[in-house]
Amino acid sequence: MPELPEVESIRRGLARKVRGDVIESVWLGEKPEPLKSPAPAIVAALEQARIAAVRRVGKHIVFDLESAQPRTAVPHGPRGAQPHGQWIVHLGMTGSLVIAQPESEVARHTHAIVRLQSGRELRFVDPRRFGRLSVVRERGGFAPGGHEPLGASVRQFARLFRGRKTPIKSALLNQKLLRGVGNIYADESLYRAGIRPRRRASRLTGDELGRLHRALQQVLRQAIRAGGSSVSDYVNAEGEAGFFQFEHRVYGREGEPCRKCRSAIKRVVIAGRSAHYCPKCQK
DNA sequence: AGGTTGACCTGGACGC
DNA sequence: TGCGTCCAGGTCAACC
C-alpha cells in the first residue's frame, strides 16, 4: 500500500507519539507470515527497550532501540544507553501501524501489539499480510542498497540508469536503485517529466534524466506535504487520510482526459504492473 | 547478469 | 442478494 510519502507520513506521526517511550511487552499473532525474524528474537529485542528514534529507510520504518535498563545493570559497560538494535517494519500493500488505547477494540488482521510504558499500544494491522516485521542487532544496523530519492543528486540519479535496458518505469520501481518509489509516484513523476514509461532507461537523454530527477523529487515532496495518497484505505498513524490522490495526473485515471491536452489517459501493463500515461504529453 | 513472470494474501468493486 | 471475476499502493523466487 504505502510508498515513500505514505511511510514518511506514518513515521512522523509515530515519532511524535512513541519516541522516548519504553516497550514493556510484545504480543505476536499465531500466524508466522509477517515475521522475517524468529518471534523470540523480535520479543527479545523489543521488550524493555526504549524507542530512541523513528526513522524511514525507503519504504521501511526503522525504530532505533536502546536499552532501558538503568546503567547500574551494566557497571563496566561504556557510558550512556546500550544499543539494543533496530525494529524494522515494512507495511507491504495493506499494512498499518496504529496507536491505540489498550481498551479499544483490536481490529481484524492485527498481527502484533507492542505495549508501551505510557499505557498506549502500537498495533500492526495488515489484512493482506504482505507486510514484514524483523529485528537487526548487528553493528551497522539495517542498511539496504539503493539511494534515497530525495537525497540523490542529479548525477547520482543519472548514473543509476546507465546501461539498463529495462523500461524506465521498472527501473524506478527497483528498490536496489532507488528505495521508496512505488507504482503511483513512478507514474506521476514520468508524466510530469514527459517521459513514456516503456522507454528504455539507458536511452534517456541527459536532459530527460534531469527532468525526471526534478519531477520525482517534486512529486514526492508535494505528496509528503499532502500527507500521502489515500487510494483505498491508507491512513497515517493518527488514522487520518492523505489527500495527494486529488493531485494524481495519471495514476488511476485511465480513460479520463489529460489535464494538459485532454487526451485520454492510457493504462498498459509493464513487468506485471499497471502503468498510466498520457500518449500525447509523454514521449 | 539482468529482466520478466507468477505466487504470495484478502477484500472491494463490478457485472450478470 | 449472491456468485464469479478482476484488480490492488510490494516483494520474492523461479524462469528465460
Whole-angstrom distance, CA of residue A117 vs CA of residue A22: 5
The model's pLDDT over A258-281, given as tens digits with 9 standing for 90+, comes to 999 999 999 999 999 999 999 999
**A226 and A181 in a common domain:** yes
Written as nine digits, the cell of A191 is 508524466
**A79 and A9 in a common domain:** yes
For residue A129, pLDDT over 80 is answered with yes
Whole-angstrom distance, CA of residue A17 vs CA of residue A88: 17
Q: Residues A141-156, buried b or exposed e (16+ Cβ, 10 A)?
A: ebeeebbebeebeeee
**A219 and A179 in a common domain:** yes
Catalytic residues of A: 2-3, 59, 273
**A132 and A37 in a common domain:** yes
Which bases along strand B come within 7 Å of a protein CB atom? 2-12
Residue A206 within a domain:
yes
Whole-angstrom distance, CA of residue A173 vs CA of residue A18: 31
Q: Is the CB of A92 under 7 A from strand C?
A: yes
Residue A282 within a domain:
no
Q: What is the pLDDT of residue A72?
A: 53
CB A58 within 8 A of CB A180: yes
**A189 and A72 in a common domain:** no
Boundary residue ending a domain (A136, A165, A197): A136
Sheet holding A110-116, edge to edge: A23-28, A110-116, A121-125, A96-100
**A180 and A255 in a common domain:** yes
Q: What is the pLDDT of residue A237?
A: 82
Number of domains in chain A: 2
Residue A12 within a domain:
yes
DSSP letter for each residue of A57-107: ETTEEEEEEEE-S-GGGSTTSPSSPPEEEEEEEE-TTT-EEEEE-TTSPPP
The model's pLDDT over A101-111, given as tens digits with 9 standing for 90+, comes to 999 999 999 99
C-beta within 7 A of nucleic chain B, residues 113-132 of A: 127-130
Residue A105 within a domain:
yes
**A124 and A84 in a common domain:** yes
Residue A148 within a domain:
no
Task: Name which of A195, A201, A174, A172 is nearest A185 in CA terms.
Answer: A172
**A95 and A43 in a common domain:** yes
C-beta within 7 A of nucleic chain B, residues 16-45 of A: 33
Domain CATH for A196: 1.10.8.50
| Domain of A126, in residue numbers | 4-136
By C1' distance from the Cα of A166, the closest nucleotide is B3
| CA-to-C1' span, A281 to C7 (A) | 27
Whole-angstrom distance, CA of residue A59 vs CA of residue A90: 7
Residue A142 within a domain:
no
Phi, psi of A82 (to 5 degrees): -80, 135
* Crossing angle of the two packed helices A4-18 and A206-225, in degrees rounded to 10: 40
Three-class SS state of A24: strand
Q: Is the CB of A272 under 7 A from strand B?
A: yes
A261, β-bridge pairs: none
Confidence of residue A77 (pLDDT cuts 50, 70, 90): very low
**A215 and A122 in a common domain:** no
Written as nine digits, the cell of A79 is 557510558
For residue A215, pLDDT over 50 is answered with yes
Q: What is the pLDDT of residue A75?
A: 52
**A163 and A115 in a common domain:** no
Written as nine digits, the cell of A19 is 519516541
Residue A141 within a domain:
no
By C1' distance from the Cα of A144, the closest nucleotide is C11
Domain CATH for A84: 3.20.190.10
Of A24-38, A204-218, A239-253, the range with the highest mean pLDDT is: A204-218
| CA-to-C1' span, A109 to C2 (A) | 25
**A38 and A10 in a common domain:** yes
Confidence of residue A34 (pLDDT cuts 50, 70, 90): confident
Q: Is the CB of A232 under 7 A from strand B?
A: yes
Whole-angstrom distance, CA of residue A51 vs CA of residue A46: 9
**A102 and A164 in a common domain:** no
CB A39 within 8 A of CB A218: no
Across the range A115-122, mean pLDDT stands at: 97
| CA-to-C1' span, A174 to B15 (A) | 36
Please tell me the pTM assigned to this model: 0.94
Which bases along strand C come within 7 Å of a protein CB atom? 7-12
Chain length of chain A: 283
Boundary residue ending a domain (A79, A103, A136): A136
Residue A217 within a domain:
yes
By C1' distance from the Cα of A90, the closest nucleotide is C10
Three-class SS state of A272: coil
Boundary residue ending a domain (A101, A136, A171): A136
